[in-house]
Chain A
Amino acid sequence: SAVISQKPSRDICQRGTSLTIQCQVDSQVTMMFWYRQQPGQSLTLIATANQGSEATYESGFVIDKFPISRPNLTFSTLTVSNLSPEDSSIYLCSVDKTPYGYTFGSGTRLTVV
């Protein structure tokens, strides 16, 4: 299965600023997925990132708030923009390495103050 390095592991940010999260995969993958997990909740898919094309966003998530880059087949970034306390969550990236299934990065715990 794939190994994903996700950075930063945690951060505390001021309102109105932005945070960029990076995920590096140890092998080439077609699709990368970005999730948000609000406190005490399950995982919600933000968007799917394919190399060479714009990300596909799920309902309720927009590119202006969550811009995503996918410059190559092993790397992606998610930026959470114009931060508010409601953005305090764990953010996770994921890849699908069939037949092993989905593997997740270690997560980024964001606190907005």
Chain B
Amino acid sequence: GIQVEQSPPDLILQEGANSTLRCNFSDSVNNLQWFHQNPWGQLINLFYIPSGTKQNGRLSATTVATERYSLLYISSSQTTDSGVYFCAVESGYIPTFGRGTSLIVHP
């Protein structure tokens, strides 16, 4: 099946810093999403982005489908950004999740 690799696995930032999270995938995909899992376990859909670039406030994402990667940018990070960020790709109809990037933002 399709492989999804996320990097870095762990990230620690000071409030106000910027960061880039990466998702590499091994095959063509129909869909790619970025999720934020908060400390209570809830998964929040950040972006549905099979290709191109999208922005939502301090967050933006870019997917280059031909090169099989996606990037999630977090600018001016806040403590509420802490949690785990997952990339999920869909090849067929079942999404496959990466192992996630655990982000801690210190005040």
A positions within 8 Å CB-CB of B: 1, 31, 33, 37, 41-43, 45, 48, 90, 92, 96, 99-104, 106-107, 109
Check A92 against B43 for contact (C-beta < 8 Å): yes
Chain A residue contacts of B98, Cβ below 8 A: 42
Residues of B within 8 A of A (CB): 31, 33, 35, 41-43, 45, 48, 86, 88, 93-95, 97-100
Q: Are B86 and A102 in contact (CB under 8 A)?
A: no
CB of A43 within 8 A of CB of B86, answer: yes
Complex Cα distance, B98 from A76, in Å, reads: 26
**Which residue of chain B is the closest to A35 with respect to CB atoms?**
B97
* Contacts between chains A and B (CB distance < 8 A), count: 42
In the complex the two chains form, what is the Cα distance from A100 to B33 in whole Å?
A: 10
Query: How many Å from the CB of A83 to the closest CB on chain B?
Result: 19
CB<8 Å pairs between A and B, sample of 12:
A1-B45, A31-B93, A33-B94, A42-B97, A42-B98, A99-B48, A101-B31, A101-B48, A102-B95, A104-B45, A107-B41, A109-B41
Are B99 and A42 within 8 A (Cβ)?
yes
Q: Which residues of B contact A100 (CB under 8 A)?
A: 45, 48
